[in-house]
Amino acid sequence: MGFSAFRGTMDLKSCVSISVISSVLNMILAPLLIHVFRFGVAGSGLAALTCDWITAFSYVRLMADRRLLVWRKLLNLPSWKQVLPLLKGSTLLLRSISMIMTQLMVARKIQSLDDSGVAPAAFALAMQTFQMGGVILFALGTATQTLYPNAVASYQGEDRQEYRRNLIHRLMKWGFGLGMGVSVVQLLFAPGILRSTPLAQVRKAALFPMGIVIAFQGINGLVSVGEGIVIGDGKFTRASINLVVASLGYMACLQLAPRGIGINGVFLSLVFFMMLRFLGVIIHLPSAMYSGDDDHKIETISESNSQ
């Protein structure tokens, strides 16, 4: 929560500092507790727990110092109107549940494909390729969630609409451009990733999945930014519906894909999943760029918060 609060105020320096310090402490404490103090595996959890406590303490202290957190407001029960925006945002819970269920279904499907372990190994290689550089697209999407409303709110009236359109265009360009850049990087590292396994069967099975993952990073970038804009606009329900529909499509494809295709069917379903999400983004963007009703909604949310 502290991380989000500082993200919302665009103070990313504090977030990065605290995260880095906490991570370094975790890496120092873990071997000490596991091996030196001989807590065993429990030491790993103790180290992580301690670092989490330290992070929480740091965030709370910083927020209190900067008057972002006022203690008396914690003791006052919020009114229904004040809680309403947060509860509306709870529709994002559907989004989280969809992602989790999708990951579970994919994991179960992969495990059920064969007993030799080739499919899971090929899947692991493809996901390793996906994660290389994919973190920057995820970061761009997350940054958009706060950057977009922050920048747009600083304008008023007609300037707001024009700036909103320019910003959306620019963000989508960055999403696509970064996605293509990540594709190039992944393509360069693909031979190295394939060589990480000595089994020729696994390499052969991983070729198509890796190709799919590399080819669709541009779309992935557009989707990350587009969904960040949808969330930044306060359209939490729409974002959730978009992902729920895409997840249902993904799971339907997984069930319908012929068993003979094997792991390729899973990744063709992934393509369908990404295209459904992209379609959802395209449907929302014109309303974000050209309607003026959103200004009234933004004002309403902030007024209900201030009451």
Please give the residues from 153 up to 172 whose contact with another protein meets the rule CB under 8 A: 153-155, 166-167, 170-171
Q: Output b/e per residue, 125-150; b: 16+ Cβ within 10 A.
A: bbbbbbebbbebbeebbebbbbbbbe
97 is a site residue for another protein (CB under 8 A)? yes
Within a 10 A sphere around the Cβ of 287, how many other Cβ atoms? 14
Nearer to another protein, 159 or 286 (CB): 159
Nearer to another protein, 182 or 285 (CB): 182
89 is a site residue for another protein (CB under 8 A)? yes
What is the nearest approach in angstroms of another protein to the Cβ of residue 200? 25
Nearer to another protein, 111 or 201 (CB): 111
100 is a site residue for another protein (CB under 8 A)? yes
Closest to 280 measured CA to CA, from 252, 244, 250: 244
Nearer to another protein, 159 or 215 (CB): 159
What is the nearest approach in angstroms of another protein to the Cβ of residue 252? 20
Nearer to another protein, 44 or 197 (CB): 44
Count of residues touching another protein (by CB under 8 A): 118
What is the nearest approach in angstroms of another protein to the Cβ of residue 160? 11
295 is a site residue for another protein (CB under 8 A)? no
Separation of alpha carbons 301 and 108, rounded Å: 41
237 is a site residue for another protein (CB under 8 A)? no
First to last CA, the chain: 22
Closest to 226 measured CA to CA, from 214, 242, 215, 213: 242
Residues 101-130 that bind another protein (CB under 8 A): 104, 107-108, 111-112
Separation of alpha carbons 273 and 251, rounded Å: 9
Residues 31-50 that bind another protein (CB under 8 A): 31-35, 37-42, 44-50
Question: Which residues fall within 8 angstroms of residue 188, CB to CB, at 6 or more apart?
Answer: none
21 is a site residue for another protein (CB under 8 A)? yes
What is the nearest approach in angstroms of another protein to the Cβ of residue 74? 5
297 is a site residue for another protein (CB under 8 A)? no
Packing angle, helices 118-131 and 92-113, rounded to 10:
140
Closest to 119 measured CA to CA, from 205, 43, 45: 205
What is the nearest approach in angstroms of another protein to the Cβ of residue 231? 6
What is the nearest approach in angstroms of another protein to the Cβ of residue 42? 5
What is the nearest approach in angstroms of another protein to the Cβ of residue 10? 4
Binding window for another protein (CB under 8 A); candidates: 188-196, 228-236, 246-254, 266-274:
228-236
Binding window for another protein (CB under 8 A); candidates: 145-153, 182-190, 197-205, 214-222:
145-153
Binding window for another protein (CB under 8 A); candidates: 73-81, 181-189, 260-268, 272-280:
73-81
249 is a site residue for another protein (CB under 8 A)? no
